[in-house]
Chain A
Amino acid sequence: MSASIPMAAGREAEPMIRLESVSRFYGDVLGVNRISLEVSGGITSLIGPNGAGKSTLMNLIAGLIPPTRGRITVLGVTPSEAESLFPQLGFCTQYDVFPAGARGRDWVRQNLLWHGYSRGDAAAMCERALARVGMTAAAAKKLESYSKGMRQRIRLAQILAFEPRLLILDEPLNGLDPLARTEMAALFRSLAAEGRGLLISSHILHEVEAMSDRVILLRDGYLAGEGGIGSVREEIQEHELQWLVRCPKPARLAALGLEARAENGRPLINQARVFDRPEPALLLGTPAPAAFFLALNAWIARGEIEVETITPADDDLDAVYRYLFGQEGA
């Protein structure tokens, strides 16, 4: 029996995701409230500070939780229709866990077997996906031994393997080093170029603005705004954000950043604070994140510095919202 993809030809023009006045409450606690939106192909970023309701919204779209109110349609079907939806929908959740003892390759292949592929097909599809995320060499290792970035990649391989039309990725850049972030962003763009839809969440607007076609802004469970990335990009670039960079030589990185200039002549770093404990790190502020990360990649490539992790230190998007919308929230 061959499973069919239940997409009628006429539905191609329909949005991939449609939410109609969707609300979700956890008892008395608001998850999201009265969200109505449509998401089509390309890369759409779901942005909001921690607790804004991004993961709740993604879990609702994928059917991991049901809405308290409202209606959700994904790729023409409701999320409860697993046999129709999940051959076409891949979801990397926020849950960074795997079954104990599993190995990378086996876990990717296991998911394909659950999808109903033969062992031979599953093996071939698994290898293609592993190659695409650069995990072929590490795929034989146990998942417990993986770094955060490797776990992100193997989870991405797991959903890429069955070639979904729509990918939902919850904080996929979280924990990745700058080079891996760049590679991942390039991969997302190539997936979108193939005609797939991507819904990517982040609590950092700058992180996804370079690759997104469209942004959806959430705050306190409400839709704070949505639109094309072009309309907000220039304004975003004026807003300064802070980043924490863990590296063996933070003072060296600070010196490089303070000396370097963006194309408009502004410094790449205008705030720098070096920490020695608990581990060497640099807290920096940059008014030109895109130019800073470009330069950072070049320094790493030339061996001038080594970077272990880079994480946003400014989790508070309220400032950005005020900046973008001129008000506290929706």
Chain B
Amino acid sequence: MNSSAASLTHDAFRPQRDAGRGFRAWLAYEFKRALAPRRAGALVALALLPAAIILLLGWVARWHGDNPASMLSPGFYARLFDELLLRTVVFFGCAWLFIQLVRGELTARTLHYAWLVPVRRTRLGGGKFLAGMGAALLLFGGGTLLSRLAIEYMRDLPPAGAEWGTLGGYVGVAALACLGYGAVFFLLGAGVRQPLFPALAFYGWEQINFLLPPWLQRCSIIYYLHALHPGSIPQHEWGFVPPPISYGAAIAWLLGIGALSAWLGVRRFARLEISYGGEE
């Protein structure tokens, strides 16, 4: 240890701070952290699952001498997108990703490092959410794109014309799902000490959405995602018919729910105390 070294305050070396640069560094760090191999490995596998299933089914069909196109129809993809991509991959992927953004740091006892940097806590929280959104869009938007390309590949129908619009529609709905679910789980991660049970209750609520009266169906994310679904998904034989809603209104509601949840999550995050438990 060099205790006799020159003073740290050196006239010839006085670097300048830039608050904006500090925030961008925080954003980049959080984005990398969200996609760190030890954390994102399972998320990448989850995001690639739909594409992998499609490729597997296609190859099995070919192996049996069948035409994969007959199995991998647009209707098949519409159901796969709803039941596997939206309700499972995006839902659970966002649950893991966004809850970990805050709760993971509390569990690892590292949040205090963030609290000691010269960036406002609301900006730190906003940065965390934006970084999580970036990672979710990359993973699950990318996963949706790959699954759609996989089905076109198996059907030997390269996307053209309207197909590109449909593909964009699926990716867009997946992105809105990331925003809606991500914001809700960010709020849960920042506001609830044990977010697992609320997350499971939320999952159940989304699953039984079709059983709820129309006015309650509006109190969900999946209702608006279904309204924007680019394909046609079969109605359940029992339950309530979902009330009609325009594309614009559905997008506005999803953006509103996402923004409100994210704002509440950031506020809650900014008020967190560093009390990991057991240290006093």
Give chain A's interface residues, CB within 8 Å of chain B.
1-3, 26, 31, 51, 55-56, 59, 62-66, 82-87, 89-91, 93-95, 97-101, 110-111, 113-118, 121, 124-125, 128-129, 131-134, 153, 160, 163, 180, 183-184, 186-187, 189-190, 194
Is there an interface contact between B8 and A118, defined as CB atoms closer than 8 Å?
Answer: no
Chain B residues whose CB sits within 8 angstroms of the CB of A3 once the complex forms: 16-19, 118
CB pairs A–B below 8 angstroms (11 shown): A26-B280, A64-B274, A83-B118, A95-B109, A95-B110, A110-B29, A114-B118, A129-B8, A131-B5, A187-B3, A190-B3
Residue of A nearest to B118 (CB): A86
Complex alpha-carbon distance, A117 and B106, angstroms: 27
How many angstroms between the C-alpha atoms of A63 and B270 in the bound complex?
Answer: 12
B117 neighbours in A (Cβ, 8 Å): 82, 86, 111, 114-115
Q: How far is the CB of A98 from chain B (nearest CB, A)?
A: 7
Q: Which residue of A lies closest to B105 (CB)?
A: A99
**Assembled-state Cα–Cα distance A207/B203 (Å):** 55
* Closest 7 pairs between A and B when the two form their complex, measured CB to CB: A116-B22, A121-B15, A113-B25, A64-B274, A134-B1, A116-B17, A186-B3
**Chain A nearest CB, measured from B225 CB (Å):** 34
A83 adjacent to B19 (CB under 8 Å): yes
The answer to whether B3 touches A183 (Cβ under 8 A) is: yes
Say how far A244's CB is from chain B's closest CB, in angstroms. Answer: 22
Pick the most buried of B4, B29, B33, B115: most chain A CB atoms within 10 A of its CB.
B115
Asked whether A64 lies within 8 Å of B112 as measured between CB atoms, the reply is yes
Q: How far is the CA of A134 from the CA of B2 in the complex (A)?
A: 6
For the complex, is B62 an interface residue (Cβ under 8 Å from A)? no
The answer to whether residues A116 and B5 also contact, given A26-B275, A31-B280, A65-B274 and a CB cut-off of 8 A, is no
Residue ID in chain A nearest B274 by CB atoms:
A64
Residues of the B chain whose Cβ atoms lie less than 8 Å from the Cβ of A89: 116
- Chain A residues whose C-beta falls within 8 Å of the C-beta of B2 in the assembled complex: 131-132, 134
- Given contacts A59-B274, A187-B3, is CB(A115)–CB(B118) below 8 Å? yes
- Interchain CB contact (< 8 A) of A116 among B21, B29, B108: B21
User: Is chain B's binding surface mostly helix, strand, loop or mixed?
Assistant: loop
| Alpha-carbon distance A163/B110, docked complex (angstroms) | 22
Chain A residue with Cβ nearest B20: A1
Interface residues of B (CB under 8 A from A): 1-5, 7-9, 13, 15-22, 25-26, 29, 33, 36, 38, 108-110, 112-113, 115-121, 273-276, 279-280
Query: Is B116 in contact with A128, judged by CB distance below 8 angstroms?
Result: no
Q: Are A2 and B16 in contact (CB under 8 A)?
A: yes
Q: How far is the CA of A160 from the CA of B29 in the complex (A)?
A: 21
Chain B residue nearest to A190 (CB atoms) is B3
Contact status B273-A66, CB under 8 Å: yes
**Bound-complex Cα distance A180 to B1 (A):** 8
Which of B1, B16, B36 contacts A132 (CB under 8 A)? B1
- Residue in B closest to A116 when the chains form the complex, CB atoms: B22
A31-B280, A97-B108, A133-B1 given; 17 more Cβ-contact pairs under 8 Å: A64-B112, A64-B115, A64-B273, A82-B117, A82-B120, A83-B19, A83-B119, A84-B118, A111-B117, A115-B117, A117-B17, A118-B21, A129-B8, A132-B5, A132-B8, A134-B1, A194-B7
B9:A190 contact, CB within 8 angstroms:
no
A6 → B minimal CB distance (Å): 11
Asked if A118 meets B36 with Cβ closer than 8 Å, knowing A82-B117, A82-B118, A153-B1, the reply is no
How far does the Cβ of B4 sit from chain A's closest Cβ, in whole Å?
Answer: 7
Interchain CA distance A63-B7 in the complex, whole Å = 28
B109 — which chain A residues lie within 8 A by C-beta? 95, 97
Instruction: Assess the A93–B112 pair: CB atoms within 8 A.
Output: yes
In the complex, the answer to whether B18 meets A2 with C-beta atoms within 8 Å is: yes
Q: Pick the contact of A190 from B4, B21, B119 — CB < 8 Å?
A: B4
In the complex the two chains form, what is the Cα distance from A89 to B18 in whole Å? 17
Of A1, A82, A85, A163, the contact of B18 (CB 8 Å cutoff): A1
Cα distance A115–B26 in the bound complex, in angstroms:
9
Q: Decide: B276 and A125 in contact? CB cutoff 8 A.
A: no
Residue of A nearest to B122 (CB): A82
| Complex-state Cα separation, A46 to B9, whole angstroms | 26
Determine if B13 and A124 form an interchain contact, defined as CB atoms under 8 angstroms apart: yes
Question: Inside 8 A of A118's CB, which chain B residues have their CB?
Answer: 15, 18, 21
Whether A116 pairs with B18 at a CB distance below 8 angstroms is yes
Is B119 a contact of A114 with CB atoms below 8 Å? yes
Chain B residues closer than 8 Å to A63, beta-carbon distance = 115
Report which of B7, B13, B15, B276 forms a contact with A95, defined as CB distance below 8 A.
Answer: B276
The answer for the CA separation of A124 and B142 in the assembled complex, in Å, is: 39
